Amino acid sequence: MDTHVYIDLFAGCGGLSLGLHNAGWKGLFAIEKNKDAFHTFKYNLIDKLKHFDWPDWLPVINHDINEVLKNYGPHLYSLQGKISLAVGGPPCQGFSSAGRRNENDERNKLVNSYIEFIKIVRPRNIFLENVQGFTFGFKNNKGVGKPYSLEVEDRLKELGYQTKGMIVDFADYGIPQRRKRFILIGSLDFDPQSFFEDLIKNRDDFLHAKGMKMGIILKEAISDLLRSNGVAECPDSVGFKSGIYSDSTSKYQQLMRKGK
């Protein structure tokens, strides 16, 4: 296979895959349980962009990762040595400080499924993203437990991966909100510390090339969505109104409209 082939785990509607598409990577397949999210993913990245070389053995539908592990084990083992990158992170709801932050949330157990998938496929590199709360231990009757972030790092190290995790604030990279996320890089080939060093070193050039800056404010992002711009009948939901875009009023809005 090509050296830039990846698999997207817990893919959602395809944010990470879209970024990798724009960066010149090629997807093999993606796993996403939610039917609606996968419908959006399929429409944009599979049907429209033809971004995936989807294998014949895996139906092009929404999948639970545990069902994939159970039903397609031999096919997954056959991918060892052929996958450059696995991206995505287990669902964050149980870890998020914005929600109930529940250690007993069933979705937290998907961390184990994630590790099992990595163990079987053995991608050369790993990119895991999760909320900042992933790095905080849950309180229990013995004090504070081990953070899931450290648990994942330790288990990846047992599989032979070098690892490095950091909190990254995506507001520093042109996102119009304070959005701190835990990023974990794992690799069989290189020291992951260099990823974060390059990320910071190339930030200014990246923003300049996009015509952006650090600290984009909300007005620059969505002032073209104001109700005062007008409304129209919604084409696919009877009885609802759709907003009308104004002309773009910022470089950020111009960037978001590219390719539309």
Catalytic residue among 20, 79, 92, 111: 92
Active site residue 13: no
Contact at 8 Å (CB) between 222 and 249?
A: no
Please compute Rg for the chain using Cα positions: 20
CA distance 39 to 30: 12
CB 65 within 8 A of CB 113: yes
Closest CA to 126 of 94, 150, 151, 152: 152
* Angle formed at CA 115 by CA 19 and CA 130, multiple of 5 degrees: 45
The residues near 78 (Cβ < 8 Å, ≥ 6 apart) are none
* CA separation, residue 50 to residues 43, 104, 147, 197, 259 (Å): 10, 39, 38, 33, 16
Residues identified as active-site: 92
